[in-house]
Structure 1
Amino acid sequence: MRRASLNSYFSKASIKRLEPMIKDITSKLLKRLDSASTSREVLTMRMVYKAVTSDVINSYAFGKSKHEIDMPDFNAPYQLGMEKLNDVIYVLMQLGWLFPLLDMLPDSLASWTVPSLVVHRKAKKEWAVQIDNIRETQDEKIDTEDNVFQGLLNSSILSDADKSTERLTVEAFVLVGAGLETTATTLMVLTYHLLANPPILRKLKAELEAEIPDASVLPTFKQVESLPYLTAVVQEGLRMHSGASTRQQRIAPDEDLVYTDRARAKKWIIPAGTPVSMTPTLLQYLPEYFPDPNTFRPERWIENPRLDRYLLTFSKGSRICLGMNLAYQEMYFVLAAVFRKYDLYDGAVEGKGPALQLYETVRERDIDMVAELAVPSPEVGSEGLRIQVMG
């Protein structure tokens, strides 16, 4: 599928049109947090944030939300099933022929071989039904920028083969998968670091309170997207925990590449057609660019704005992540809404306002990357960030 056919749906202008929808989902998130305050429920935040990002990307892709943020368990069985694909993704990435072969197995054998395939197949069938429903109700007068697949089906640059349900279902897997887990995981990591670093949270809250005087009113995109400290917090979260950790491969097919090693005063010639790759997980922890790289320190981005040259979370150039603008808006808006309302619980704020506290969360086990499974993964069995809401 031509990349240009999707570009317009993820431009800054198009994403700004999603403000009412993202506001609505964020409002439901805050209500769920309030409810947890009454019940003293321990919230597994990766499930909570996945419900948020799933509702956003499904609403935008198909014009229909799954309403996971309203589900008592945040649709955890489905999310856990899809997560299990990560356990074998590193094998499937190296053996490209294996996934189509597994996909040919009947459900009974697939559930025994790779159980997560059954969940994936169910999702594919649901996406196919939604795409067919959109096709059947297709109307040229519909504002196609509000619905990605409506727009693709109405596209004048795509062939009939590109518009087939089978082909668009593959695109659905990419859009939903990329738009769900990556942003949700970064939101989880950012929430942890803010709660684990009270001085940083106080500084962020001061900025949010100055810009958003009334904590009961959700901000606008315009209010939050240019806040300097919030921007630095988001950038630091993206540096420390990229949504995708796999190597980003590139090939220059028609020209030799020249790499200059300034430290050794050497030049290296990389012949045309040679695959070259790098991973943000390694680059963004290099101390020569990011001193004390294991420390969450948003101030580094304010002290040196040019650090963004070394931020590869969304890649660079013509292959930059299509969903970057959507991810940024979700992170800005959700973090601003949550931390404008909630403080850090330390025993002294009880009765003064709603607050959050970490619950049995250990950074080395639950937050930091321990395994590279296409996405940064913590220890096996970890539940990630867990919190309690205090009121």
Structure 2
Amino acid sequence: MDIFSALPYPYVSVAAVSLLLYLVAGAVNRLYFSPIASFPGPKLAALTFCPAEIHVETPSFADELYNTNRRRDKWERFTRCFGIPDSDAPRRPQPVFSTASVRRLQPVIEERLDRLLERFAEFQETGETMAYAFARCEHRIEDKDFDLSFHDASMMGSALGQFMKQFPWVITLMQALPDWVAVLLNKDMALLRQASTRLTSNPKSKPSNRAPTPTTKPYPIRPSSTRSSTPNSPPAEKSFDRLWQDGQVTVVAGTLTTAWALSVTHYHLANPSALAKLKAELASAIPDPFTTTPLATLERLPYLAAVIQESLRLSCGVSTRLQRIAPVEALCFTDPASGTLDARYFPVPLSFRPERWLENPRLDRFCLPFSKGSRQCVGMGLAYAEIFLALARIWRVYGSDEVQGVGDRGVLRLEGTDGRDVTIVGNATTPLVWKGTKGVRIVVR
């Protein structure tokens, strides 16, 4: 006799028993037969967390994990949430992100900064509160509110990354939706789709709907040449789809991380002691704020560099785990935020203290905002250039209520902003702060 036939809901009973057996089988497999079953650690974590990963608490292990001279692959489960498969081809230097190429971009970055400072002057006249958002493409600086929809849509797309890891087919589905359906689902996401679509078209045939300023400088290099300019790259690495995906990730990832780092920096520079030291160094290195200071000169300013390192440590541009696979070795990982907030290496880790980097330059072993090794962020040099130039240009001519320099144009004052707005409480690939945040908001006086 069927043992389930006597039950009130036989189909439900069968489903419940099947689910129970599935869970028991999964638990047994994770505890005794998974690739990491022999490693020490809490069994509850092995049951509830990813059975293919091991977390190493010691940040010093990063030197072994993110090793430049050994082969390291990214885990497909991570890369597929962006729609980009990992490559078996050897990693080669990308000419567009070389030091020389980045320094040729200085006039382009400075042109955007000039326009940003003009916007600061506008806010100084109106007294309007602004949500600080920098590093926007397509002349978003000219928009009244800096076109926050792009930021919001990018953050939404980043937050979906965790879901995409489990269901990568959703990316294909979303790309197949007509624009009018995307608008009904979410207006910001529809705008992000439109921005992504523009990356696939010839920029001459579909220009931005925002007119460039008369002083806009031409780009001395073409980002689309990142892979195609490497003659030995396999054909798949130079395909249209691959280049489009690279471009999309470069735009979104480069915008969110750099803007967030600058926002965190401006919040913490409300500290009069740190700002006074920074402005003194900038005034000495840049006697005339209206002249161009070479990027190489700014990179040699010790306190400015320390401020940037401390800001990158606290902002943690990528908060998700950056797993690495060693095809011929057995290795583990540590997530970025755990290392940068480890009190063993960074005493009082949540405090903003640039001096720690001057006292111990070797702290960079434990702070890897751009990852490290053969798979580190290829845009690291460009991100540093943007941050160095932005902080130098802004804080050379602006101060705070407590700290002002000779010839300053005005002061930047935090408005309706507190520590919650820069404290990481969640992970959406990029950091999340409390839900009620309005961002780092400043008033220009």
Q: Residues 356 and 387 of structure 1 are in contact (CA less than 8 Å); yes or no, is this contact kept in structure 2?
A: yes
Residue from 54, 68, 71 that aligns with 2:136: 54
Report the equivalent of 2:252.
Answer: 177
Change (3 A) 1:10 1:300: same
Report the number of matched residues.
Answer: 347
The DSSP-based 3-state class of the residue aligned with 1:31 is helix
Change (3 A) 1:153 1:303: closer
Q: Residues 241 and 281 of structure 1 are in contact (CA less than 8 Å); yes or no, is this contact kept in structure 2?
A: no
Change (3 A) 1:123 1:347: closer
Structure number with the bigger relative contact order (C-alpha 8 A, sep ≥ 6) is 2
Change (3 A) 1:105 1:7: same
Change (3 A) 1:115 1:220: same
Alignment pair present for 1:130 and 2:199: no
Distance 1:161 1:100 in 2: 19
Q: Residues 154 and 256 of structure 2 are in contact (CA less than 8 Å); yes or no, is this contact kept in structure 1?
A: no
TM-score, length of structure 2 as denominator length: 0.72
Report the equivalent of 2:145.
Answer: 73
Change (3 A) 1:233 1:347: closer
Residue from 341, 345, 367 that aligns with 1:285: 341
Distance 2:316 2:273 in 1: 24
Change (3 A) 1:295 1:73: same
Report the equivalent of 1:118.
Answer: 190
The 5 A counterparts of 1:130-149 are 130=202, 146-149=221-224
Distance 2:222 2:406 in 1: 44
The structural deviation recorded for 1:44 is 0.4
The DSSP-based 3-state class of the residue aligned with 2:358 is helix
Report the equivalent of 2:158.
Answer: 86
Between 355-364 and 93-102, report the one with greater CA deviation. Answer: 93-102
Alignment pair present for 1:14 and 2:101: yes
Report the equivalent of 1:166.
Answer: 241
Distance 1:190 1:75 in 2: 21
The structural deviation recorded for 1:132 is 8.4
Distance 2:136 2:91 in 1: 24
Whichever residue aligns with residue 54 of structure 1, its letter is R
The structural deviation recorded for 1:86 is 3.0
For residues 306-345 of structure 1, the C-alpha deviation after alignment (integer angstroms, 9 at most, x for no partner) is 1011111111111111011111111111001111100102
For residues 175-199 of structure 1, the C-alpha deviation after alignment (integer angstroms, 9 at most, x for no partner) is 111211101100010011002x111
Change (3 A) 1:212 1:151: same
Change (3 A) 1:38 1:218: farther
Residue from 116, 120, 130 that aligns with 1:29: 116
The structural deviation recorded for 1:278 is 2.1
**Percent identity at matched positions?**
36
The structural deviation recorded for 1:67 is 1.5
Alignment pair present for 1:236 and 2:298: no
Q: Residues 105 and 220 of structure 2 are in contact (CA less than 8 Å); yes or no, is this contact kept in structure 1?
A: no
For residues 338-372 of structure 1, the C-alpha deviation after alignment (integer angstroms, 9 at most, x for no partner) is 111001025999997411111010112x1111211
Whichever residue aligns with residue 123 of structure 2, its letter is A
The structural deviation recorded for 1:38 is 0.7
Between 208-217 and 100-109, report the one with greater CA deviation. Answer: 100-109
Whichever residue aligns with residue 374 of structure 2, its letter is S
Q: Residues 132 and 440 of structure 2 are in contact (CA less than 8 Å); yes or no, is this contact kept in structure 1?
A: yes
Report the equivalent of 2:213.
Answer: none
Structure 1: tracts of 5 or more residues without a match: 56-65, 135-142, 258-275
Between 342-351 and 35-44, report the one with greater CA deviation. Answer: 342-351
Whichever residue aligns with residue 126 of structure 1, its letter is R
Structure 2: tracts of 5 or more residues without a match: 1-86, 207-217
Q: Residues 131 and 168 of structure 1 are in contact (CA less than 8 Å); yes or no, is this contact kept in structure 2?
A: no
Report the equivalent of 1:39.
Answer: 126
TM-score, length of structure 1 as denominator length: 0.81
Change (3 A) 1:154 1:299: closer
Change (3 A) 1:144 1:386: closer
Task: Give the greater-gyration-radius structure (CA).
Answer: 2
Distance 1:249 1:351 in 2: 49
Change (3 A) 1:86 1:380: farther
The DSSP-based 3-state class of the residue aligned with 2:371 is coil
Change (3 A) 1:350 1:161: closer
Alignment pair present for 1:388 and 2:439: no
Q: Residues 397 and 410 of structure 2 are in contact (CA less than 8 Å); yes or no, is this contact kept in structure 1?
A: yes
Between 112-121 and 198-207, report the one with greater CA deviation. Answer: 112-121
Report the equivalent of 2:431.
Answer: 376
Distance 1:154 1:351 in 2: 46
Report the equivalent of 1:227.
Answer: 301
Distance 1:18 1:351 in 2: 28
For residues 202-230 of structure 1, the C-alpha deviation after alignment (integer angstroms, 9 at most, x for no partner) is 01111111111123334321221110000
The DSSP-based 3-state class of the residue aligned with 1:357 is strand
Q: Residues 9 and 145 of structure 1 are in contact (CA less than 8 Å); yes or no, is this contact kept in structure 2?
A: no
The DSSP-based 3-state class of the residue aligned with 2:136 is helix
For residues 64-94 of structure 1, the C-alpha deviation after alignment (integer angstroms, 9 at most, x for no partner) is xx12222222122233222222332221133
Distance 2:406 2:102 in 1: 38
The DSSP-based 3-state class of the residue aligned with 1:179 is helix
